[in-house]
Structure 1
């Protein structure tokens, strides 16, 4: 059985790499952007699921961490000439004027800086619970956006950063998404993951078992912030331009939607939901434009795609109240057991 699972894992990885290679060779720039966005939202969804789903902390400040990561990577990867063109109203701070890093070190630094910010925010905020924590993290997220809007010499203020190098591609987004999935799988199966789940289920019982609530909450919050910073950095370099207005609460809502739709506390559900939501949001844009069916022309209604998308989500939630996967994960055991029962003709015994 173990050898079969190992073979299935290897075949799945090879198939995924093959599909990514085919997409990279055949898709146009628009479709490639959608594929890249899917990978980025997988990372962002998993980072929020670590905080909200596995540890049970109701955080709404995720967009602030994305902003920190995007600006950090953007400032480190921009050429000095491009920085001079962007900062025409007020000169950039001297220690960043001539800095130009390769993409990988800039990504790592974006994650580390965001993790530090997450730690500084989490240390005081995580003493709160439930709705109070949500309000506090939402406030911190807005504070970060306002600070970035008003620090002209550091972030170029409301003008934002333009002309970011387009380093983000399908291999960066889905490569990091794959390592994020592996990290989450091993984390959840380990002792820290069990401690996170214990805190989610009952904080008093977890503390009685010797689990340090503050330590594990801050650890979860910091790791989630690190991953969100990486996702924000990838998003900024994919779009080529960033400004503070990109990082409003609605972006956090989109990520929270992915987590809830896929299943709070499910890695598999988050991955599936991130892909489905991202693709659906793009392809439903046709509803905002005029549709010509030949015999009739339907005028487009701006915002109609969001109405239809919301209705579809309501239908899904009505039938799957805990999300598509609930708190379950995909395993090869389920596939192999079903195949075995089908071949032998045995009936599955419910316990």
Structure 2
């Protein structure tokens, strides 16, 4: 029977991979165009969104559709904390910003952490009553709560500036911030999933009644998962706001949640590796299909650009994928060094034969 790889080999391999990714990101940041850097930032932020939703929906089995609400909370909280005081005075014209937010300006890192903590706090407030529901009722409740957050943002003029939104947000998000937080998100959630706590979450996903009979506190585990996922959604919202530099309530409709759900399902709902792959494929695919919205030629035929066509094509491709490959790219499997070295050994043996 073949033994698995030692901890030393896994650690060295992981360290080399992280160093390689860091070098490539540093190299891209130096020579790549602003458009490519924007795509790399979006991939990292979408990895945060997709991984945090995978923890809630895929690992714990909570069918939540309110992720956009926690992203909105993170975006607004961090923006209000980092905007210069002079900019706040010029932005809040209809109603002045409430005290003490109108006098506060802090740096990006503590603002992002606070944004995540506030989103986690709201996640707890939402989870405590909502998680007593099951199935479709839970999905409807979380969807309604997410929409409630958006509607409050649309009407709370003295906090969010209402429908006008917030403009001229400091562009603090860069490759290092976005990919650094993506690494932290994946590391924490993947470590949690591999722990005994993660095994309890998976048991709850498979059969909450049997898990409860085994002595697992189903409710507290579900709340913890929901709160942690909400925290990273808030962090991702902060990064996203400081990347696009303008936000308003229309940025956080339920469509945003469905986009993140598509990434998680595309990669394989229940797989952290799948969440990463799904986020990357969705982000790049969405940009690759952008040409469909501008006039283009195929041979002698000129096709007029149709706004929104890339979403139609991508949705059709996803429908085909779900019809013929329902498990997604990874299913519930995870990438591992054992699998990588196993494939490498197979290729090496094939070359020798």
Q: Work out whether the TM-score is over 0.5.
A: yes
Rounded to whole Å, the distance in 1 between the matches of 2:348 and 2:171 is 51
Shift of 1:214: 1.1
Q: Who is 2:262 aligned against? A: 257
Determine whether 1:134 maps to 2:143.
no
Q: Who is 2:221 aligned against? A: 216
What SS does the aligned partner of 2:335 have?
A: coil
* The one of 278, 284, 300 aligned to 2:289: 284
Rounded to whole Å, the distance in 2 between the matches of 1:316 and 1:257 is 11
Rounded to whole Å, the distance in 1 between the matches of 2:253 and 2:34 is 26
Structure 1 runs of 4+ off > 6 angstroms?
none
Instruction: Give ranges in structure 1 of 5+ residues lacking alignment.
Output: 346-351
Rounded to whole Å, the distance in 2 between the matches of 1:273 and 1:313 is 11
Determine whether 1:103 maps to 2:108.
yes
* The one of 137, 151, 156 aligned to 2:156: 151
Distance 1:249 1:4, change over 3 A: same
Q: Who is 1:191 aligned against? A: 196
Rounded to whole Å, the distance in 2 between the matches of 1:323 and 1:295 is 37
What SS does the aligned partner of 1:270 have?
A: helix
Shift of 1:21: 1.0
Distance 1:297 1:337, change over 3 A: same
Moved more, 336-345 or 40-49: 336-345
* The one of 52, 59, 62 aligned to 1:54: 59
Q: Who is 1:308 aligned against? A: 313
What SS does the aligned partner of 1:161 have?
A: coil
Shift of 1:207: 0.4
Q: Who is 2:78 aligned against? A: 73
For residues 155-190 of structure 1, the C-alpha deviation after alignment (integer angstroms, 9 at most, x for no partner) is: 111111111111000111111001111111110011
Q: Who is 2:279 aligned against? A: 274
What SS does the aligned partner of 1:297 have?
A: strand
Determine whether 1:207 maps to 2:212.
yes
Determine whether 1:327 maps to 2:313.
no
TM-score of the two chains, using structure 1 as the length reference: 0.95
Rounded to whole Å, the distance in 1 between the matches of 2:345 and 2:49 is 37
Q: Who is 2:40 aligned against? A: 35
What SS does the aligned partner of 1:328 have?
A: coil
Equivalences for 1:287-298 in 2 at 5 Å?
A: 287-292=292-297, 295-298=300-303
What SS does the aligned partner of 2:100 have?
A: helix
Instruction: Give ranges in structure 2 of 5+ residues lacking alignment.
Output: none
Q: Who is 1:115 aligned against? A: 120
Rounded to whole Å, the distance in 2 between the matches of 1:338 and 1:294 is 41
Rounded to whole Å, the distance in 2 between the matches of 1:244 and 1:174 is 26
Q: Who is 2:178 aligned against? A: 173
Moved more, 154-163 or 331-340: 331-340
Rounded to whole Å, the distance in 1 between the matches of 2:133 and 2:275 is 26
Rounded to whole Å, the distance in 2 between the matches of 1:290 and 1:15 is 39
Q: Who is 1:349 aligned against? A: none
Q: Who is 2:241 aligned against? A: 236
Paired positions, count: 346
Distance 1:340 1:105, change over 3 A: same
What SS does the aligned partner of 1:224 have?
A: helix
Rounded to whole Å, the distance in 1 between the matches of 2:338 and 2:200 is 25
Distance 1:343 1:242, change over 3 A: closer
